[in-house]
Structure 1
Amino acid sequence: MPDISSAPSTPQQAGRGQAGPSAEPATSLVVGLDIGGSKTHGALWADGVLVGEARAGSANVQNVTPDDAARNLAELFRELTPAGGADVAQVVAGSGGVDTAGDAERLRGLIRPHAPGAAIDVVHDTRLILAAGGARTGIAVIAGTGSVAWGVDGEGREARSGGWGYLLGDEGSGYWVVREAVRRTLHRYDAGQQPDDLDAAVLALNGVATPTELIGLFHSGAGRTYWAAQSRAVFDAARTGHAEAGGIIERAAGDLMQLVLDVVDVIGLPGPVVLGGGLAMHQPDLQARLRYRLSDRGIDDVVFLDRDPVMGVQFLVADSGRAGR
């Protein structure tokens, strides 16, 4: 694999000897993809220099149809490689829902038309999280639209907890947080209680007047991404002192902590706990509660990513290159 360990964290202008149309062709183009439940983030490196980024809708076929995934990937590659992907040497794609060899091959099939000559490596998106934290061993946690933890020790032993999808799990995720808020609103309505601030926020975000309208909407085709985006209502309410909103966040922190402890039970704690995903990266209240809970269990090496997980591709490719020497 090409060594891209020296790549900077911000794109460089094409046309300075890297990837501009008037420059010499790059000797090595690498595309990184972070395929989440809500969006796909792509990055392009030319000879180890980050030269472009693009975003599109999710290409995770557990969240969208295969046709939608294909359209979103086509949109992303058009923006990321406007001259076409024929010169791309390697694609590294991290995605949720990659649980079997068949899952990985199906994703390769969606990517291959856009980089026909490339080696396509597909990994679970938790690997990008750990790599973006600069760690070879440790435990990666995603708390975004869904939730999952994965870890690896120095001997290559791996363990995972969660990542089963919203019907079986995803506790502590954005979807779970807002589902609990919707359930609370419905319970209060059934008990004859008037809507409070959190109930009113949930109703307003969905453009409905009564809690019963939420039932049909929740069972419609709105999708997990739609609901997960509304988790902000719970965090906003908690910031104003809403005790039950704070309780939902506290339970989310407890569920995410349990994912970590499940992995620790199998592989020990070989390195840091690195957390990514929209909820983990952008909600300080959840961060503080989770950090406190983990510290109480003797886990203090906790890192919340401050850069996009797709940048972990740099580390993975460079690390693979070192291992191959």
Structure 2
Amino acid sequence: MDNTPLNPAALNLPALNPAALNLPALPARFVGLDIGGSKTRGIVWSEGVITSDFSVGSTNVQNVTPETAAENMGTLFARLDVSEASQVYAGAGGVDTDDDAAALRSLISPFVPGAHVSVVHDTRLLLAAGGTTTGVAVIAGTGSAAWGMNQVCQEARAGGWGYLLGDEGSGYWLGREAVRYSLERMDSGKPVDELTAALLKYCQLQEPGELIAHFHQGTTRRYWAAASPVIFGAAENGHAHASALVDQAAKDLAAMAAKVASQLNISGPIVLGSGMGSNVPALQEAFISHLAGLGYSDVQILKQDPIFGIPLLVATQAHATQG
């Protein structure tokens, strides 16, 4: 449990002052959840102080079985002090329809009887964690997506189709493309190079040909997304194809951001975050460069967990309800 006071300045975020933003005061006690593909983090805010902070495995029924999701959710709420919490605000990947949101609400509600439960796509958390309720949020993690809102509350999104249909620029995409590169070299009779050797080491395999069965049998998208440091490491060492993959990932992410910004007729801010987006300088630099080429210069890199955007979203929701 973390009893650290909520200090936006220490988090490198704009100070959250509901009064200055013409928003109502925050509830006395509320719960924030960030439900990702590999983990779920929960935080309880009480009178502006974080009184519980705990993480478990994924509770997203699109990524794990309903039984696993329920078990993990039970473990999480057993560690969070949610007594007297009036609201739960959750951001989750893959929440594209009302049915998606309803499925997660039904999973959460039994653990917080009487509390109002809101479920939104996790890109909203990312944008709010950047200190704004308008602009474009870009997720670059296991998957990828862009979402935005303008000053008149119009919304738009791009990507987020999932790994079978898209997720260009994501960790999974990078891992898969490294496999394809290695197999193409094998088919052409070329020797194992630095990128393929590093990939084989990650997979604990001996030969490129073993990648085919390994990819199709028993590995997950999170497994291949976790291989992305292999590509970033090779790129940092000057591997031409790895560098090209990193640049292409950034280009695809920038294109998604620009598509959303164009639909909303806004110039920014564009906030890049999630695992890769917040932590890989080479991807960040290329992303900023490609957006500049598209005419967008108001770009920021999120350095904190998206869950810290939840207080702003809760205050904004209260304002909309009262209005």
TM-score (norm 2): 0.89
Q: Is the 8 A contact 1:137 1:270 kept in 2?
A: no
Q: Deviations over 1:31-76 (max 9, x none)?
A: 1011112211111101221222111112222222222222222222
Q: Provide structure 1 residue ranges, at least 5 long, that are not aligned to the other structure.
A: 1-5, 12-26
Q: Give the structure 2 partner of residue 206 of structure 1.
A: 203
CA distance in 2, matches of 1:221, 1:118: 39
Following superposition, the deviation at residue 86 of structure 1 comes to 4.5
| Pairing partner for 2:282 from 255, 280, 285 | 285
Give the stretch that moved more between structures: 209-218 or 98-107. Answer: 209-218
Q: Is the 8 A contact 1:8 1:50 kept in 2?
A: no
CA distance in 1, matches of 2:267, 2:128: 14
Q: Deviations over 1:144-200 (max 9, x none)?
A: 000000111111111110111000110000000111001111111111111111101
Q: Give the structure 1 partner of residue 139 of structure 2.
A: 142
Following superposition, the deviation at residue 321 of structure 1 comes to 3.2
Residues 152 and 270 of structure 1: CA distance in aligned 2, closer, same or farther (over 3 Å):
farther
| Superposition pairs of residues 211-290 of structure 1, within 5 angstroms | 211-269=208-266, 271-290=268-287
Q: Give the structure 2 partner of residue 178 of structure 1.
A: 175
Letter in 1 for 2:218: G
Following superposition, the deviation at residue 92 of structure 1 comes to 0.3
Residues 321 and 270 of structure 1: CA distance in aligned 2, closer, same or farther (over 3 Å):
farther
| Pairing partner for 2:291 from 284, 288, 294 | 294
Letter in 2 for 1:96: G
Give yes or no for the alignment of 1:71 onto 2:71. Answer: yes
Letter in 2 for 1:8: N
SS in 1 for 2:226: helix
Give the stretch that moved more between structures: 281-290 or 114-123. Answer: 114-123
Following superposition, the deviation at residue 80 of structure 1 comes to 2.2
CA distance in 2, matches of 1:258, 1:62: 26
Q: Is the 8 A contact 2:145 2:158 kept in 1?
A: yes
Q: How many residues align?
A: 302
| Pairing partner for 1:126 from 116, 123, 126 | 123
Q: Is the 8 A contact 1:33 1:42 kept in 2?
A: yes
SS in 1 for 2:86: strand
SS in 2 for 1:91: strand
CA distance in 2, matches of 1:221, 1:47: 46
CA distance in 2, matches of 1:285, 1:262: 22
Q: Provide structure 2 residue ranges, at least 5 long, that are not aligned to the other structure.
A: 12-26
Give yes or no for the alignment of 1:8 onto 2:22. Answer: no
CA distance in 2, matches of 1:63, 1:212: 28
Q: Tell me which stretches of 4 or more aligned residues in structure 1 moved more than 4 Å.
A: none
Give the stretch that moved more between structures: 37-46 or 283-292. Answer: 37-46
| Pairing partner for 2:96 from 75, 99, 103 | 99
| Pairing partner for 1:308 from 284, 288, 305 | 305
Q: Give the structure 2 partner of residue 38 of structure 1.
A: 38
CA distance in 1, matches of 2:242, 2:170: 15
Q: Is the 8 A contact 2:145 2:157 kept in 1?
A: yes
Q: Deviations over 1:246-266 (max 9, x none)?
A: 000011011101101211231
Q: Give the structure 1 partner of residue 52 of structure 2.
A: 52
CA distance in 2, matches of 1:303, 1:42: 25
Provide the identity percentage.
50
Letter in 2 for 1:215: I
SS in 2 for 1:78: helix
CA distance in 2, matches of 1:322, 1:75: 32
TM-score (norm 1): 0.89
SS in 2 for 1:148: strand
Following superposition, the deviation at residue 306 of structure 1 comes to 1.1
